[in-house]
Amino acid sequence: MTFLENLPSFMLHAFTVAVVMGPLCALLGVFVTARRMAFFSDTISHSALAGIGLGFLVGLEDPTWPIVLFSLLIAGAILWLKEHTDLLTDTIMALLLSGSVAFGIIVLSLLKNRRGELHRYLFGDILSVNLDDVWLAIVLSSAIGMWLFTKLSPVALLTASEDLAHVSGVRTRWLNYAFVLVLTVVVSLSIRLLGIILVTSLVVIPPAAARNLARNLRQQLILSLIIGLIGGAVGTVASYHWDIPCGPAIVMACLAIFILSLVVGKFWLNQPTRAKSA
Amino acid sequence: MGLFSASHLTYPNSHRFLSHAYKAYNHTGADIAVSVRDLHVSLGGQSVLRGVNLHLHRGQLVALIGPNGSGKTTLLRAVVGLQKPDTGEVRLLGENNIQKALPRVGYVPQRFVPDRSFILSVREFLALRLRETQSWFWHRHRDTDDRLMADMAELGVESLLDRPIAALSGGQLQRVLIVFALLKRPELLILDEPTAGVDSPGEKTFYDLIGEIHRRRKLTVVLVSHDLSMVYRHASWVYALNGVVCCEGSPEQVMNADALKETYGLNISQHHHIGHPF
Ligand SMILES: Nc1ncnc2c1ncn2[C@@H]1O[C@H](COP(=O)(O)OP(=O)(O)OP(=O)(O)O)[C@@H](O)[C@H]1O
Ligand SMILES: [Mg+2]
């Protein structure tokens, strides 16, 4: 335990957030990837840039709430446009993503004293996690984690087929909204650590690595959760140790596990029932 | 009257004409499984159902026929609440609130292509139907298996339990979907082209199987079929649909060429089954 005692408090904060958000992102990610919502997650995270810009513009020092609120606004806009226009979902998201990034960059470059901060929001910074963020992450992720576990069956059924979920009594409309809400909150809370550009990788890579090893959904969920935990923990420690940006460090840790899982899955586990991707 | 309806329930086949006459007097009776009144549905600005009326009696095996694009799928989707009607009324198992009746209904959609990125096993998929609201996640496999085996064996798919649903063949998937629909002991089974993906020798046994399930479980079955010889052999009542109900009656009545021509229009020559000597 001497390792933990010698750490500065900012590192403890970052480490705590990583081991809380990592598994949660990874768990949600199993459904996000299966529902092909990775681009949605990317759009949400990029919209945070506009949130940060707006927050600074109105004089807020801490960008956490602006990020969360603006991301929710963008998520709502995506859903609304999807329902009320004939635009393709991809088009809608590309539109909002580039719009948010453009707006955020312009605001940040106009505010002369904020220019240097762009880098830390894009790639994540362990220095930027304060004690409030830690508490917010713990409270929200335990609430969301518990919600996800009680709703595991309906969410899994919804992911398999909305029609079958409906006839099995799932309120699909509300569950869809709830899922989007949860994903938005989780992604925007992970931005501090992972950075806007890389946060989606924590939603995508652990489930993909787990997919290489798992034979069913239960195994994939459990493995993904563990991989997210290890990736988050190893990444923040590496970021501290070598003084590198936190997001890339976590991504590289997850990628290393992914490559390992690919090798193990291909050469060690004999899986005759594995579906070949078409 | 009571005696009359009781006999109708027990011997639907031998009382077709009587029950038809009886139906005209009693549309809201307890022996009606599905009642649709003046249903209008339009999709993408095009009017698909233009005033459909039908009243399905309990215990019957009802076939829904009609050319491609005649609205069969749309009608069944409206019956289970997947499609919101523009105007008109649907009563399902005596309930105006479709959601309330759904636990007593099994539904197999026409098209369900499981996503290969979602590694749900057949066991998990079926378990989701058994315990949609509780968590199947922590349950031991053997408890689940006990509840699944009888239905799996009836459909001949007990060896598929550990396969991912995305790795099943079309016919295997259809059978698993029927097991899914039967698990909760429904009073009404709705099958939208159950033989899609079943090879043609298998098709006959498949319909025999459905006929047998219908008899043994004494449930009401509604199925869409393009195979008119099957309709003739198993159905106790037939609806021919083309935007509206063109004709209804016993297979003998509906199969006469005039009535069918009305339904199928110029498509009639494409359906070689019509030439069969019934
Ligand atoms: N989502 C949709 N948007 C617009 N039009 C649709 C949509 N779904 C179906 N339609 C149209 O509604 C009509 C009826 O479709 P439906 O699927 O109910 O036909 P069907 O009788 O089941 O045909 P099939 O025998 O091919 O299954 C078709 O003309 C189809 O083009
Ligand atoms: Mg159809």
Domains of chain A: 2-267 (1.10.3470.10)
Q: Which of B74, B77, B111 has most ligand 1 atoms within 8 Å of CB, for mutation? A: B74
Average pLDDT for residues B183-203, to the nearest whole number? 83
- Model confidence at B165, pLDDT cuts 50, 70, 90, reads very high
By percentage, how much of chain B surpasses pLDDT 70? 76
Q: Which ligand is nearest to the CA of B70?
A: 1
Position B179 pLDDT exceeds 80: yes
Position B268 pLDDT exceeds 60: no
Position B238 pLDDT exceeds 70: yes
Residues 6+ positions from A138 with CB-CB distance below 8 Å: A16, A20
Please indicate if any CB of chain A lies within 8 Å of the CB of B68. Answer: no
Alpha helices in chain B (DSSP H): 2-10, 16-25, 72-79, 98-101, 122-130, 141-154, 170-182, 200-217, 228-234, 251-255, 257-264
Query: How many other CB atoms are found less than 10 A from the CB of residue B122?
Result: 26
Position B94 pLDDT exceeds 90: no
**What local confidence, expressed as pLDDT, does residue B15 receive?**
41
**What local confidence, expressed as pLDDT, does residue B10 receive?**
34
Name which of A168, A170, A220 is nearest B119 (Cβ-Cβ).
Answer: A220
- Report the Cα B69 to chain-centroid distance in Å: 17
Query: How many other CB atoms are found less than 10 A from the CB of residue A87?
Result: 12
- With beta carbons less than 8 A apart as the criterion, state whether A64 and A259 touch: no
Name which of B82, B117, B128 is nearest A33 (Cβ-Cβ).
Answer: B117
Name which of B80, B120, B132 is nearest A217 (Cβ-Cβ).
Answer: B120
- Model confidence at A23, pLDDT cuts 50, 70, 90, reads very high
Is the Cβ pair B162, A216 closer than 8 Å? yes
The SS3 of residue B157 is coil
Mean pLDDT for chain A?
88
Which tens digits make up the pLDDT trace of B147-160? 788 888 888 888 89
**What local confidence, expressed as pLDDT, does residue A194 receive?**
86
ipTM for the complex shown: 0.84
- pTM given for the model: 0.84
How many angstroms does the Cα of residue B83 sit away from the middle of ligand 2?
13
What tokens does B23 get?
């139906």
**What local confidence, expressed as pLDDT, does residue A5 receive?**
63
Q: Which ligand is nearest to the CA of B242?
A: 1
Q: Which of B68, B76, B191, B227 has most ligand 1 atoms within 8 Å of CB, for mutation? A: B68
Average pLDDT for residues B84-95, to the nearest whole number? 91
How many angstroms does the Cα of residue B245 sit away from the middle of ligand 1?
16
Which tens digits make up the pLDDT trace of B26-58? 445 578 889 999 999 999 888 999 999 999 999
Residue B54: CA count within 13 A, CB half-sphere = 31
Spell out which residues of chain B touch residue A164, defining contact as CB-CB under 8 Å. Answer: 107, 109, 112, 180
Position B272 pLDDT exceeds 50: no
Please, which residues bridge with residue B220 across strands?
A: B188
CA B66 to ligand 1: nearest atom: 21
Question: Ligand 1: residues within 6 Å at CB?
Answer: B 43-44, 46, 48, 66, 68-74, 110
What tokens does A180 get?
């989007």
Which tens digits make up the pLDDT trace of A201-249? 999 999 999 999 998 898 999 999 999 999 999 999 998 889 888 889 9
Is the Cβ pair B82, A33 closer than 8 Å? no
Domain ranges in chain B are: 15-119+164-272
Burial tier of B84 (Cβ tally within 10 Å: 0-12, 13-18, 19+): exposed
Is the Cβ pair A163, B116 closer than 8 Å? no
How many angstroms does the Cα of residue B84 sit away from the middle of ligand 1?
14
Which tens digits make up the pLDDT trace of B247-266? 888 877 777 756 666 666 54
Whether domain B15-119+164-272 has CATH 3.40.50.2000: the reply is no
**What local confidence, expressed as pLDDT, does residue B19 receive?**
45
**What local confidence, expressed as pLDDT, does residue B262 receive?**
62
Spell out which residues of chain A touch residue B180, defining contact as CB-CB under 8 Å. Answer: 164
B88: left (phi over 0), alpha (psi -120 to 50) or beta: left
Determine phi and psi for A82, rounding to 5 degrees: -65, -40
Average pLDDT for residues B172-183, to the nearest whole number? 91
Name which of B107, B136, B162 is nearest A167 (Cβ-Cβ).
Answer: B107
How many angstroms does the Cα of residue A47 sit away from the middle of ligand 2?
41
**What local confidence, expressed as pLDDT, does residue B135 receive?**
55
Q: Residue B167: closest CA among chain A residues belongs to which residue?
A: A275
Instruction: Take atom 8 of ligand 1 and give the residue whose Cα is closest.
Output: B43
**What local confidence, expressed as pLDDT, does residue B7 receive?**
34
Cα torsion through A220, A223, A228, A234, rounded to 10: -150
Cβ-Cβ contacts under 8 Å between A and B: the total is 106
B window 70-109, beta carbon within 8 A of A: 77, 80-82, 99, 102-103, 105-107, 109
Determine phi and psi for A273, rounding to 5 degrees: -90, -5
CA B226 to ligand 1: nearest atom: 25
Residue (of B100, B110, B13) closest to B57 by Cα position: B13
